[in-house]
Structure 1
């Protein structure tokens, strides 16, 4: 009986480790590959981690609808105008564009500016809308 209890305990420990790894793997792959955030992850960064949001779309698209609290900087003037915002470099920063392509291209440039943690919104504003999350006009 004692031997069977030990096997049961080992099985439970193995199950715990495997399920914990399965929960942590998406986060780990995001950190390693530099993959952007899902709309749900971006919401967590904004609400819990006080992430700043920088929208890289043209002003007309930004005014048509943007993420709550987002600041608009056109991608061609990113470095100069990002300095003007005086954002806390210790807090996370989320770059957003229409589809996720422009923000991914700008990621390395922003990382060089000394922000501790920078990511992009995968799929951009289109993914945000597809997730039925609110836009501010």
Structure 2
């Protein structure tokens, strides 16, 4: 009987550890890799939190249509583009590209520039369009 109780306790402890790890992993990935934002979450960041939106696509793509309030930031010279825009580092930043891939690659660079919070629009402008949200020309 004592042996079975120990096995039950070990199973409960293992379950506790696994569930705790599962709850912590999303937080850990956000801390390491930045915040992935859905179009709805990005809209909330922009409207309620006054987040800057940096469009990392080419200037031609930017001119064909970009998120409202987005600023063009040349992805090959992100640091220089951010310095030129004189952005307040206390406000969040949303990085946007066509599909979200390029934004993810530049996330660490934006974080190193001292922004409190940096997010990436998951799926990029393509996801924004798919959500039937407006683009500005």
Alignment of 1:51-66 (within 5 A): 51-66=51-66
| Contact 2:35 2:118 survives alignment (8 Å) | no
Measured in 1, the distance between the counterparts of 2:45 and 2:83 equals: 21
Measured in 2, the distance between the counterparts of 1:28 and 1:81 equals: 29
| Contact 1:59 1:72 survives alignment (8 Å) | yes
Structure 1 unaligned residues grouped into runs of 5+: 1-23
| Contact 2:34 2:107 survives alignment (8 Å) | no
Measured in 2, the distance between the counterparts of 1:92 and 1:34 equals: 11
RMSD: 1.9
- The number of equivalent residue pairs is 113
Measured in 2, the distance between the counterparts of 1:83 and 1:74 equals: 12
Measured in 2, the distance between the counterparts of 1:95 and 1:30 equals: 17
Tell me what 2:10 maps to.
Answer: none
Tell me what 2:6 maps to.
Answer: none
Tell me what 1:107 maps to.
Answer: 107
Tell me what 1:130 maps to.
Answer: 130
Tell me what 1:75 maps to.
Answer: 75
Question: Normalising by the residue count of structure 2, what TM-score does the alignment of the two structures yield?
Answer: 0.77
Tell me what 2:30 maps to.
Answer: 31
Measured in 2, the distance between the counterparts of 1:56 and 1:122 equals: 14
Q: How far is the alpha carbon of 1:31 from its aligned partner?
A: 3.1
1:69-104 CA-to-partner distances (Å, cap 9, x unmatched) read 000012001111111101110000000000000000
Question: Normalising by the residue count of structure 1, what TM-score does the alignment of the two structures yield?
Answer: 0.77
Measured in 2, the distance between the counterparts of 1:68 and 1:47 equals: 10
Structure 2 counterpart SS, 1:36? strand
